[in-house]
Structure 1
Amino acid sequence: MKGKIALERGPIRYGVAALLLQVVLLGGLLAGCDGQPTPAPSPAPGATVADVAPLDAPRPAGPERLVLAFGDSLYAGYGLPRGQSLPDAIQMRLRRQGINATFVNAGVSGDTSADGRARLAFALDNLSRKPDLVMLGLGGNDALRQIAPAETRANLAAMLDMLAKRHIPVLLTGMKAPPNLGPDYGDAFDRIWPDLAAQYKTGLYPFILDGVIGEPKLIQGDHIHPDMAGVAVIADRLAPVVAGRLKGAEQGGG
């Protein structure tokens, strides 16, 4: 996203995206989301070294802004070459904009919100210092496993409570429920992220796969995880949001 965020909220786009997620679940293709190891795909024929090299940009001058990317396989870079994850892509974009950002990727494929809740304190305590921002991206595996939305909400709220007590700013990246789970489940699940963002006064990117899910050229063969082109699309949209949160944290001293 550049400047003001403009998200497509149409029910058809989200419905197709969520339906694809449910189809993959029913087909038993959730190797990445369930944490089962699978090799990263080989570069496509004709790919150059630059296509698969770790994303990087010269480190700008100025104080370092430390970001903890805490989530599941969508942060971890499931199925992608090393150095091509979403946090890598956002770090590169911020550095090219002159922001001295360093991302610590704490994405774990297969993690539910309960898994994240269990390991968040450990992740924070093992950083070199308190992060300037935590990107929190969990919940997709909860929906795929049909975990009650109330449980997902409680786990995310507990993590936000912990981060608030440590005075760490947060950017939530949200998820949408598959329509096959029914309108009651979908309504309860989809409301988690905007409700918590308002309650805890965090930043919010409503749907992390917006603009990518349902686009064959941007998604891996499992129909869930973005390929390198898909990561680039998400990073283009998300990097300005992260930059804004870092600027706000700096101005607020948090």
Structure 2
Amino acid sequence: MEEDMDKVIRVIGEIRHKRRRLLLAAAATLTMLGGMQPAQAAAPALLVLGDSLSAEYGITRGTGWVTLLQDRLRQERFDYNVVNASISGETTIGGKTRLPDLLSRHKPAIVVVELGANDALRGLPLQTTESNLRQIVSSAQKAGAGVLLVGMRIPPNYGQDYTEKFFSLYPKLAGEYKVRLVPFFLDKVMARQDWFQPDRIHPTAEAQPALLETVWPQLKPMLKRNADR
């Protein structure tokens, strides 16, 4: 009888010991979980699809307006990851060709389209430029991105009619696709000849803040802070 009682006492003791270990393990798990921060979603991408004017042509890397844009976003607490997909010499056909892969890889919330100047400087047919820009804008919109179209002017090398029709492409497309528009990218730098490189085409590093200030008023209303997403 005494042996049976000893066994019962031992069993009860083992049960209590196991229960204590389970409670301690559970408490440790809860403590660990309580200290963990919820994973933050990756910042949405802001894709800049441009030419040499956005690709830091002829200036020190890290001084272009797109880099300044990333700095401005941080300063104003807009959490976006700027992806600069600009290439010197890029045309609208090049941008149209590259865009599907860029949309697939980066899934941008916003696409800034700064293309067309090289088409016009080469005298390419305006119908081709317009068609390419249409496909760029519509592809970005179908991917769920907001679009900012950046317009350009060119010298009348191919006649005044060509120059005027080229310039009018941008507001025309912006109206049709209901996207925001920067009418003329170089608007704030044209009066400062000292802000141009010797080729008289590409702005210097000193001009880059002015380029950002030209884009910013149209871009800022498109941005959302984390709490608004």
Q: TM-score range by the shorter chain?
A: 0.7 to 0.9
Q: Residue 182 and residue 144 in structure 1: after superposition, are their counterparts in 2 closer, same or farther (change >3 A)?
A: same
Looking at structure 2, the residues matched to 187 and 235 of structure 1 have their Cα atoms a distance apart, in angstroms, of 25
Alignment-derived partner of residue 69 in structure 1: 48
2:162 pairs with 1:188: no
Deviation string for 1:17-56 (max 9, x for gaps)? xxxxxxxxxxxxxxxxxxxxxxxxxxxxxxxxxxxxxxxx
Conservation of the 8 A alpha-carbon contact between 1:94 and 1:243: no
- Measured after TM superposition, the shift of residue 131 of structure 1 is 1.0
Looking at structure 1, the residues matched to 205 and 41 of structure 2 have their Cα atoms a distance apart, in angstroms, of 29
| Alignment partner of 1:164 out of 135, 138, 141 | 141
Work out which structure has the larger RCO, using CA pairs closer than 8 Å and 6 or more positions apart in sequence. Answer: 1
| Alignment partner of 1:82 out of 38, 61, 64 | 61
Deviation string for 1:121-152 (max 9, x for gaps)? 1222222xx21100001000011100111110
Q: Secondary structure at the match of 2:157?
A: helix
- Measured after TM superposition, the shift of residue 66 of structure 1 is 2.0
2:89 pairs with 1:110: yes
With 222-231 and 211-220 compared, the bigger mean Cα shift is at 211-220
Conservation of the 8 A alpha-carbon contact between 1:90 and 1:238: no
Conservation of the 8 A alpha-carbon contact between 1:197 and 1:203: yes
Deviation string for 1:142-186 (max 9, x for gaps)? 111001111100000011121121121100011113223222212
Alignment-derived partner of residue 110 in structure 2: 133
Name the aligned partner's letter for residue 192 of structure 1.
L
| Alignment partner of 1:100 out of 70, 79, 96 | 79
Structure 1 length-normalised TM: 0.69
Name the aligned partner's letter for residue 149 of structure 1.
L
- Measured after TM superposition, the shift of residue 62 of structure 1 is 9.9
List alignment gaps of at least 5 residues for structure 2. Answer: 1-39
- Measured after TM superposition, the shift of residue 240 of structure 1 is 3.1
Name the aligned partner's letter for residue 200 of structure 1.
Y
Deviation string for 1:168-226 (max 9, x for gaps)? 11000111132232222122211110010001111100111112135222111211111
Alignment-derived partner of residue 50 in structure 1: none
Conservation of the 8 A alpha-carbon contact between 1:70 and 1:136: yes
Conservation of the 8 A alpha-carbon contact between 1:94 and 1:239: no
Looking at structure 2, the residues matched to 107 and 62 of structure 1 have their Cα atoms a distance apart, in angstroms, of 26
Q: Secondary structure at the match of 2:48?
A: strand
Name the aligned partner's letter for residue 121 of structure 1.
P
Looking at structure 2, the residues matched to 183 and 81 of structure 1 have their Cα atoms a distance apart, in angstroms, of 35
Deviation string for 1:78-129 (max 9, x for gaps)? 11111112211112122212222321000000011111111111222222xx
| Structure number having the greater helix percentage | 2
Name the aligned partner's letter for residue 82 of structure 2.
F
